[in-house]
Amino acid sequence: MQISLLIMIAHAISALGMLGLCFFQYKWKEKGKILKGNERKNHLERHEKIGKRTIYALAIVVLLAIIGNLTMGLYAGNSFFTSILPRSPHGVFGFIGAGLFYYGWKLGIKIQQQRNNNEKWATTKIKHGRAADLIIIIGCIHAFLGFLQLLKII
């Protein structure tokens, strides 16, 4: 039981870091409208560089959640499959958020490709921004529900 608690705490800490990273990336939405010239170019490059790597951070956060659920479920006598499935709104929001995050990540890459190929990318940029809005909202709901669930576990 203690190992699953440690994994869940590691998930919570890494998820908070991930949410902080999402907020950091989200600031680009406003900065992109204000900055000009080389400063804008540098911030955009940093946004894209960090954005490409965030999927790996997300994978670690999700993997910790799944392993934590698995160890807790197996300890409670549940089957392997039942242990992996989310058993709370927190888990459901996590999977929805991760799927939306992946979609937004793919849109970000698509924007880069379209821009580099001199194609129109305004529509993709709007979708990417809307996905980012939803990711922030779902991420905050997920974090709040996770905090409540962690209190229940401890």
Q: Which residues are CB-contacts of 85 (< 8 A; sequence separation ≥ 6)?
A: 91
Q: How many domains does the chain have?
A: 1
Residue 22 has pLDDT above 80, yes or no: yes
Average pLDDT across the chain, whole number: 92
Residue pLDDT, tens place only, 37-63:
999 999 999 999 999 999 999 999 999
Least confident of 36-45, 57-66, 78-87, 122-131: 78-87
Residue 153 has pLDDT above 80, yes or no: no
CA dihedral 135, 47, 52, 63 (to 10 degrees): -40
Residue 73 has pLDDT above 80, yes or no: yes
Q: Which residues are CB-contacts of 77 (< 8 A; sequence separation ≥ 6)?
A: none
Which domain covers residue 42, as residue numbers?
2-153
CB-CB contact of 11 with 65 (8 Å): yes
CB-CB contact of 89 with 145 (8 Å): yes
Burial class of residue 9 in the structure, from the number of CB atoms within 10 Å of its CB (0-12 exposed, 13-18 middle, 19+ buried): middle
pLDDT of residue 93: 92
DSSP code per residue over 56-108: HHHHHHHHHHHHHHHHHHHHTT--HHHHHS--SHHHHHHHHHHHHHHHHHHHH
| 3-state secondary structure (DSSP) of residue 112 | helix
Q: Which of 99, 112, 114, 108 is nearest to 127 (CA)?
A: 108
pLDDT of residue 76: 82
pLDDT of residue 1: 57
